[in-house]
Amino acid sequence: MACSAVLSRRAVLSRRARWRCGLTLAALLAGFSAQVALASIEVVGQDASVMSGLPTANFNSDILFVGNNFAGTGLARTYLKFDLPAYLPGTQIASATLSGTYRGDFNAQDGFFDWHVAVSDAWTEGSINWNNQPGFTGSPIASWDASLAIVNQIYSWDITSAVNDAYLGDGTLSLVFKGVNEGPSQDREFWWAKENTAGQAPFQIEFEIESIDVIPEPGQLVVWSVLTSLCGAMGGCWRRCGV
C-alpha cells in the first residue's frame, strides 16, 4: 500500500477516534451535570377558620373565611396544613406555588391580606379555634389585594422559600391567612375549602423538586479516569503520526 494511502487511512481513523473520544467524554460530563426534577401537586390536607368573636368555636366546613368583623364575630383567620413528600437527600424545592379559589365577600369593603407560616403544625381542622390556634411568626411570605378579587377566580402565590424550609425540615407546612391590619372594619372574604361540593379547586401547592449536588458514582469516576488517560495517549499518538 502506498505511503500516502497509509497516512490517509491513519488520518481518517484518528479523526474517528478523536470524535468518539470527545463524544464519550461529553456524554459522561452530561451525566455529571444532569439534574433530577420531579413536579408534583399537593392538595391541602387540613383547612379550617377561626374567629375571635367565637373563640372556642371550630369552623371546619366547605367555606373558609378571613378578615375583620362580620356580624359581630370579630377577626377571622384561615389555617392550612400540607404534608409534603419525604425528603430526598441532595434535593431541594426549585419552585412552589400556592393557589386557591375565591368564593366571594360580605360587602364592598376590600382590604389587604397576608400569608404567614404558622408557628406550629400541632393543630387539626376538627379542633382548632381562636383560643388554641398556633399563631404565626416572621414576615409575610405572600400577600393578596381583595379589591381585585373575582368570584370563583383562582389566585396564586409564590411560596418557594417556605415550602423548601418545610421540605428540608419536618415535612409539614402550616400557613395562616389573615388581614394585614386586623381591626374593626367589616371586610370579610370567603374562599372554597376542600370539603366544598361545588367542584371548585381547593387550596393546593404545585411544586418542583430538583437535585442540588449531582455526585458521580464510583464507577463513573473510574471510567472518567480511564477515558482521560486513553484520550491523552491517543493525543500523543496523533501528534507523533502528524495527524
Name the CATH code of domain 37-211 (choices 3.30.930.10, 2.60.120.230, 3.40.720.10, 3.40.50.300).
2.60.120.230
- H or E element that contains 76: strand 76-83
The predicted pLDDT at position 133 comes to 98
The residues that bridge with 46 in the sheet, in sequence order, are 81
Higher pLDDT: 239 or 134? It is 134
Q: What is the pTM of this model?
A: 0.74
Q: Which of 94, 126, 127, 111 is nearest to 177 (CA)?
A: 111
What backbone phi and psi angles, to 5 degrees, belong to 18? -65, -40
Question: Strands 46-51, 76-83: parallel, antiparallel or unpaired by DSSP?
Answer: antiparallel
- pLDDT digits over 93-120, tens only? 999 999 999 999 877 778 899 999 999 9
pLDDT 10s digits, 135-175: 998 899 999 999 999 999 999 999 999 999 999 999 999 99
Measured N-to-C along each axis, helices 218-241 and 3-33 cross at an angle, to the nearest 10 degrees, of 160
Task: Say how far apart CA 45 and CA 238 lie, in whole Å.
Answer: 65
Check pLDDT > 80 for residue 15: no
Instruction: Characterize the bridge pairing of strands 188-192 and 136-145.
Output: unpaired
Interacting residues of 7 by C-beta distance below 8 A, sequence separation 6+ = 241, 242, 243
**Residue with cell string 400540607:** 82
Instruction: Compute the distance between CA of residue 66 and CA of residue 132 in angstroms, rounded to an integer.
Output: 17
